[in-house]
Structures are given as structure tokens and as C-alpha cells.
Amino acid sequence: MDRLIYSSLAAMRGLMAKQATTASNLANVSTTGFRGDMASATATWLRGPGMDGRAAPSEGVIDADMRVGAVAATGRALDVAMEGDAMLGVQAENGEEGYTRRGDLMVSETGLLTTGDGLPVLGGSGPITLPPADKIEIDAGGVIWIQPKGGNANDPLQQVDQLKLVNASGTRIAKSMDGLFRPVAGGTLPSDPDARVNAGALEGSNVNASAALVDMIGASRDWEMQVKMLTTAQDLDKSSADLMRLD
Amino acid sequence: MTTAALQVARTGLDAQNERMRVIANNLANVNTTGFKKDRAQFETLAYQNIVSAGAASAGDQKFATGHALGTGVQIGATAKIDSQGSLNTTGNSLDMAISGAGFFQVTQPDGRTAYTRDGNFNLSAEGQIVTSDGMPLSPAIQVPQGATSITIGADGTVTAQLAGQTEVSELGKIETATFVNVAGLQSLGNNLMQETPASGAPQVGAAGTEGRGTIQQGSLEASNVNIVEELVDMIETQRAYEVNSKMISSTNDMLQYANQNLG
């Protein structure tokens, strides 16, 4: 019996993984600063005697979609949208440095500056802790200015720290298991003095819902085609069995 | 494995549904005095590793990229947006609004202090300044019977003209509380908030000092909900819900097709 069905099976497995990737993108259509995942299939050729007639596809997430998501003004002083390719340095849960586009910053009860999902934001020297302040402002260069608690409202603001903004151009970065970006080769990225942020605005998810819906329909039609392939193989197998039958 | 896409899309539906509840609550409180709107914060769920980047593929070759599948989304938190609501003049002498940061302190029936921006105060039968639910302002301020023209200064000093006296008398001083992390306060309902380990301890003092806002007598702070913004968010949520439910029906169709045709 032909091994055609195994090629189809591999394709079906891959298509279901692609569907799960699209589902994950669609589920994160409202996640601040989310970068969509891109799935793609690569052919694995089996070399051997005879014709190379079959290639098992292996579907996987190849990269993240790095296009900029829609930026919406919120007016909240601690919301920052990064311009261009700039990324914000944060401390991942395992203590490593990771990079994100998520800019909905919060101040915890200890004054620690975190992203909306609770990761400490890195500054000039490690995680940023802000003293009690009446007013916090973040300028275009990512410098944090505060008016200390109880200070005179007319005094000039004081500089406390600067967000660690990096630019990954020239370095291959990839999304890690925790959803943060890290250089593929390891290590950390240096601060980029030219990186700019927009305070009072938030970048949404960059998932394009209509493109994801098209991917979804594509994957489900491809799936049907593979099922057709399997039923065809079944029919072929049955007819050859019928030919052999002696009666 | 085959149902991964179904489960992932379900997390999307759950999260959008929860966001819709947050928006509905914001809209429902559009006329609530001193209400601060909430914002639902989405978080990506952990990625599931299928193939690690750098794992050996064959011989000395290594996979250049990993193969990881996202497992969906969740609402990690709802953050209070503590922007100032607009101040509306009512002319009632016991209506107060805080212009700037700070909360009024009220004593709950169980003796604990709660915090509110709702400055809709009244006099109780015993002459105490109380909220519309009857919770006394803390520190308590007693207004003697027959007191007229109650005046509350920007710093919270309450004075009144007492019967049979020519000079105005000071009745007490309203103190307000601020928190390091206002977003960490817990809502109790009835416009009240409670301190939590996340909010930090209250810093109590006279209004207008140490960053506390000033008290405006005869005004009430409106809710900071912006109807147009909420309606836009509502439509966005509805659309996101729709695409996630489309994903469920599409994956269901795939499985149904396989079930019907194979066998």
C-alpha cells in the first residue's frame, strides 16, 4: 500500500497547528503591544534511491509579524507607544532581560515601574523604582520626570531615570516562550539613544483580523483537500484490493 | 492537539466577554458621582513548545527557528483609570469634590475606614456629616443644631455660624488620603474603595498639602467615563468576539469534515 496517506497526515497535523496559531493571533487581537505569529510550512525531502516523489511538510511558527500596530491616544501619562522599531527592555520572570512593545506602564505599591502584565521595566541600571510623586511625565526620549510628593507645583520637574529603549535592527531577535523578544544569539541589546516614544498613547495588537480570517479559511480549505486526498487513497486501495479478489 | 485551536479561540471569547463586562460596568456608572473607570488588561498566555530553536534536527544540524504555539489570551487585571472627572456645581453646602488627588475617608459600619471620591454628603439626624448611605466622614464632624451657613475651605476646614453667636465657629477639619498606587485600590461597591497591599497604606493629611487635591465646596465630581470612548471599545470588543467565534466554527467545520469523510 502506498504511503501517500502519511504525507497527507503530516500536512493535516501542520494545518491544525497553523489553525491554532491563527486562533492565538485572533485571541490576542486586543492585547496591548502584541506581535502576531506567522506560521509557515517547510518541505522535508526524503532522499533515497528512486524518485524524490514525496516531501513531508513541517509547519511551524517561523517568525513574528513586526509591523507596527494601531496607536490610540489614551491621555494617560504612563501609557507609552514606541515609535518605529524601538522596543522596551523589561525583566522577564526568569530574571533575564527581554524586550516588548507593551507600553501600558503601572507603578506598584513599592514604586516599581512595571508593564501592564507585571514585568519590571528596565532603566539606566536595572528595574526602575519611582519615588512617591504627584506628577509623572515621560518625554519623547523615554526620560521619566517627576514632581516629588508634596513639592511645589511650580518647581521644575526632576529627572529620575530613563526607560531602556533598544533597537533590534541588525540583530536577529525572536519571540521566546514567555512572549518577550530576545536576541536569537543570546545576550542583550544596547540602549538606543535615538529611540522615541509617544506618551499618552498605546499601541494595540498588530493582528490584522481580516488577514487572520483569510488564513483561517485557507487552512480549513487546505484541510478539506487533505481529507479528500485520504479518501482518494482509500478508494485506490480498495480498487486494487478488488482487482486481486478471486471469485 | 487537534482541539488546540478550539481551546485557544475559547480563551479569546472568554477574555472579550470579560472586557465587555468591564465596559458595561463603566457605561452603567456613567452618572455615578466620583466613579473611576476600569480598563481590562489583556495578557498573552504561555507559549507551548513543540520544537525548541537550536534543538538538533539531524546530525550536526540544528533547527534555526523554534516551533511554538501560543495558547491564547487572558485578562490579567482590570486597572482603575484615576483621571479627574469633571466638577459640576450643585450649590449644596455639603456637596464636596476633590480637585486633584485624594479620597474622602468614611467609617464603615464595621469600624474600618473606606475611601471615596463621592462627595455627596448630608447631615444625619444626630448632626454628623455622613455619606448618602449614612457612613460618617472620618475624622467625624459634628454640626450643632441650628448651625447656618456651613463653609468648607479648600483645605477642608469646616466652619459654621452658630445660633446666638456673632463669630463663625470652626467645627473640624476634613482630611483626605492619598495612595502610592491608586490603581491597586479595591472597589467595594457603593462608591467605596478599600486599601490593599498593592495600593500601599493611606497617607492622610489636610487637603491641598503634600500633593493632595483641594476641596471644592458646592461641587460634585462626575464619573470619568467617556461615553464615546466606551462605545468605540464596545464595538471593538464585539468585533473581536465575532472573529474568535468564527475561529471556533471554522475549526469545528474542519473536524466535522474529517469525521464525515474518513472512515
Digit-coded pLDDT (tens) for B167-180: 888 999 999 998 88
Segment B57-73 shows an average pLDDT of 68
Whether the pLDDT of residue B2 is over 60: the answer is no
Which residues, listed in sequence order, are joined to residue A234 by a DSSP beta bridge?
none
B-chain CB neighbours of A116 within 8 Å are 41, 43, 76-77, 79
Whether the pLDDT of residue B216 is over 50: the answer is yes
A154 Ramachandran zone, left/alpha/beta (phi>0; psi -120 to 50): alpha
Q: What per-residue confidence (pLDDT) applies to B167?
A: 87
Instruction: Please tell me the distance from the alpha carbon of residue A71 to that of residue A205, in angstroms, as a whole number.
Output: 9
Lowest-confidence segment of A55-64, A89-98, A225-234, B188-197 by average pLDDT = A55-64
Q: What per-residue confidence (pLDDT) applies to A5?
A: 84
* Percent residues over pLDDT 90 in chain B: 57
Lowest-confidence segment of A139-143, A205-209, B181-185 by average pLDDT = B181-185
Q: What per-residue confidence (pLDDT) applies to A179?
A: 87
DSSP H helical segments within B98-189, as ranges? none
Question: Three cell numbers at A89?
Answer: 527592555
Least Cα distance to B63 among A44, A13, A38, A100 occurs for A44
- B1 pLDDT band, cuts 50/70/90, is very low
Segment A197-215 shows an average pLDDT of 92
Higher pLDDT, B244 or B69: B244
Q: What per-residue confidence (pLDDT) applies to B238?
A: 95
Predicted complex ipTM: 0.76
Question: Three cell numbers at B94?
Answer: 455639603
Quick check: helix, strand or coil at residue B41?
strand
Whether the pLDDT of residue A58 is over 80: the answer is no
Beta-carbon contacts of residue B212 (< 8 Å; ≥ 6 apart):
B98, B100, B101, B102, B176, B178, B205, B206
Higher pLDDT, B46 or A120: A120
Task: Quickly count: other Cβ atoms within 10 Å of residue A107's Cβ.
Answer: 22
**pTM, full prediction:** 0.81
Alpha-carbon torsion A97, A25, B45, A206, what sign?
positive
Write out the H or E segment, with its range, that includes residue A71: strand A71-73
CB A166, CB A189: distance < 8 Å: yes
Q: What per-residue confidence (pLDDT) applies to B120?
A: 92
Instruction: Please tell me the distance from the alpha carbon of residue A172 to that of residue A169, in angstroms, as a whole number.
Output: 8
The per-residue pLDDT of chain B, averaged, comes to: 88
- A52 pLDDT band, cuts 50/70/90, is low
Beta-carbon contacts of residue A100 (< 8 Å; ≥ 6 apart):
A33, A87, A88, A90, A115, A119, A179, A180, A181
Task: Quickly count: other Cβ atoms within 10 Å of residue B214's Cβ.
Answer: 18
* Percent residues over pLDDT 90 in chain A: 47
Higher pLDDT, A46 or B111: B111
Whether the pLDDT of residue B33 is over 80: the answer is yes
> How far off is chain B from A125, nearest CA to CA, in Å?
23
* Percent residues over pLDDT 70 in chain B: 91
Least Cα distance to A16 among A68, A66, A59 occurs for A59
Partner residue facing A223 (CB), from B184, B203, B254: B254
A186 Ramachandran zone, left/alpha/beta (phi>0; psi -120 to 50): left
Partner residue facing A150 (CB), from B41, B77, B210: B210
| Report for A74-78, B47-51, B239-243: range of highest mean pLDDT | B239-243
Q: What per-residue confidence (pLDDT) applies to A176?
A: 85
Segment A148-172 shows an average pLDDT of 86
pLDDT digits (tens, 9 = 90+) for B110-156: 999 999 999 999 999 999 999 988 999 988 999 988 888 899 999 99
> How far off is chain B from A229, nearest CA to CA, in Å?
10
Report in angstroms the alpha-carbon separations of B229 from A72, A242, B8, B125: 11, 69, 28, 42
Question: Three cell numbers at A206?
Answer: 498588530
Look at A16 and B1 and tell me if their CB atoms are within 8 Å: yes
For chains A and B, count residue pairs whose Cβ atoms are closer than 8 Å: 192
Segment B58-71 shows an average pLDDT of 65
CB burial string A144-165: b at 16+ within 10 A, e below: bbbbbbebeeeeebeebbbbbb
Partner residue facing A220 (CB), from B71, B203, B250: B250
Beta-carbon contacts of residue A233 (< 8 Å; ≥ 6 apart):
A2, A4, A5, A8
Whether the pLDDT of residue B66 is over 70: the answer is no
Look at A24 and B69 and tell me if their CB atoms are within 8 Å: yes
Q: What per-residue confidence (pLDDT) applies to B190?
A: 87
Instruction: Please tell me the distance from the alpha carbon of residue A36 to that of residue A29, in angstroms, as a whole number.
Output: 9
Question: Three cell numbers at A138?
Answer: 515621560
Question: Three cell numbers at B80?
Answer: 482603575
